Chain A
Amino acid sequence: MREIQEFTLEDLRTHLSPRAFTGETVVLNMGPQHPSTHGVLRVILELDGEVIVNCIPDVGFLHTGIEKNMEAKTYQKAEVLTDRMDYMYAMGNILVYCLAVEKLTGLKPPPRADAIRVILTELSRIQSHLLWLGTSPMDLGAVSTFLYTMREREMILDVFELVSGARMMTTYIRPGGLWRDVPAEFEGLVREILKVLPRRMLEYEALLTKNPLYLDRTKGIGKIDTKTCLAWNVTGPTLRATGMAHDVRKANPYCGIEQYDFDIPTHTDGDIYARYLVRLEEMRQSMRIIEQALNKLPYGPIRDNNYKIVPPPRSEIGVSMEALIHHFKLWTEGFTPPVGSVYATIESPRGEMGVFLESNGTPKPYRIHYRTPSLPLLQALPLMAKGHLVADLIGIIGSIDIVLGDCDR
């Protein structure tokens, strides 16, 4: 078995200050197993007493070769792997992949499928933010929020389980539409969440928003400004907390999300507290979108009817020879999109998530690259952390809401 990777001071010469070599500052390793790194992040810190002089994140501990594995599978089979990248936003991972495949093949999902996609991805955003709301204050010592938010998260997971049979890894959204139509209980369950959650969010706010301990740990910590964010490609709530209202849902809308009425919450401070407020408001806006989508949920088919690419419904296979042939060809060979490359993006709870997909006319994707929001966020971590205390670094890592599976793929 290979050895643990160890750094010498010489390896990190370009990152450390000269004081590290004279022994004035201490170089400290944190992670990859650390309770507050949200997975397997390793950070090497140069400390002057308790103050961070330099901070070097080291990622790759969860690199699982997903991109290479996807290139070895057909388009339909590769889809299963997408869930496991950003496991907090599994619905979105599949959605952006399906958007890329649809762009490549020229499919157009029907309006009902689009509306359900929007509902499910927004629910997914809420559940990601809920987990963040539980774990991020927990790093700062406020454990009780976790017990509240996980309770509501289960309600959302119940909806996912109802539609797809799995709690987290759903693979429910498919190129050209959805796997199947939602069951009759779907609307009732979602409406129940919309009824309960606003009340419960007041409970979370009562625990945190004006809590002097939380304010002390978050206000003015981990500041970043808009210009730096853009240069370092930081997107999502972290960018919006600096005052720039950039959201892919408004800028480059997908799945007909432009027909719903919602706002982009912003804040100008750019610190941990601002990100907290932005995320809380985002959850409310997501609920607004879900409510509008539910109110005008259209009836109709849930898949495109181009059976060269989209599998025919189960009911047709028994009666139609053509459907049987299409089914057989699709699941043995796959479909062959035209040669070319596309780029599709959506807004994930962490920022802009994109898929670069290149086809060479075979049933397997030739090159697939996920542009994930966590990588730039982690890259910008030293900019936010320098000059703060070690204890604040934990708050900053929590506040940017990284998912290491998303970063390393």
Chain B
Amino acid sequence: MNELLKPAVEKISKKFNAKVSEFRDEVTLLIPPEENTAVAAILRDEFDFDMLSALTAVDYYPQTTPRFHMVYIFYSTKNKVYLNVRAPLNGNEPSIKTMETVYPSANWREREVWDLFGIKFESHSDLRRIMMPPDWVGHPLRKDYPLGWEEVQFTFNFDEIDARKPKGEI
């Protein structure tokens, strides 16, 4: 483990009972989901992690406990190190506290995660869809959402598929 990361990892793992894992020189902390803002505030204020480099989610469908992982990647411009923090979320309609209060840049990323994964962010200032139209049904990046394949037409089934294709009002 990188020497510069050690104090932060030790403190978080002790205080929040986080699980530490290492893969390819990257340290990942698995924290309880209700502590996400507390962890972020400590990382920002005490260990100089001044940027929230990335915020995303992973869907482990069909597994439901946990079904989702929120992934936060923090970056310190002083120590030049990354730290991954994950928060597991159970169930199909999960919710977690918003990170906006600690890192304002989380605003749009959380809207993106809400739009594409359907994870709710409690007390988020503006939780609207960002990528898809507002009347869209479903959350496309979930694993149970179909990719939306266009069928390939061959000579034997051309008419059958053609009848199903969207035509538009031209």
Contact = CB atoms under 8 A, between A and B. Distances in A.
A141 interface: no
B147 A68 contact: yes
Given A5-B134, A15-B126, A231-B105, A341 B56 contact: no
Nearest to A14: B126
B52 interface: yes
Interface in B129-153: 129-135, 140-141, 145, 147-148
Given A15-B126, A246-B77, A251-B77, A379 B107 contact: yes
A408 interface: yes
| Interface residues on chain B, size class | 35 or more
Contact of B58 (A59, A106, A366): A366
Given A15-B126, A63-B132, A408-B131, A340 B105 contact: no
Most chain B Cβ neighbours within 10 Å, of A59, A69, A235, A341: A341
Contacts of A367: 56, 58-59
Q: Chain B interface secondary structure, helix, strand, loop or mixed?
A: loop
Contacts of B23: 340-342
A68 B143 CA distance: 9
B53 interface: yes
B103 A233 contact: yes
B73 A232 contact: no
Interface string A84-106: 00000000000000000001101
B5 interface: no
B54 A356 contact: yes
Nearest to B76: A251
Interface stretch (A195-203, A269-277, A369-377): A369-377
Nearest to B145: A68
Most chain B Cβ neighbours within 10 Å, of A233, A343, A356, A379: A233
A408 B28 CA distance: 27
| Interface residues on chain A, size class | 35 or more
A212 B135 CA distance: 48
B52 A342 contact: no
A49 interface: no
5 contacts: A68-B145, A231-B103, A232-B105, A246-B77, A342-B26
Interface of B: 23-24, 26, 28, 50-54, 56, 58-59, 71, 73, 77, 80, 82, 84, 103-105, 107-109, 112, 125-126, 129-135, 140-141, 145, 147-148, 168-169
Interface of A: 1-2, 5, 14-15, 59-60, 63, 65, 67-69, 72, 103-104, 106, 230-233, 235, 244, 246, 251-252, 340-343, 345, 352, 354, 356, 358, 366-367, 369, 371, 375-376, 378-379, 408
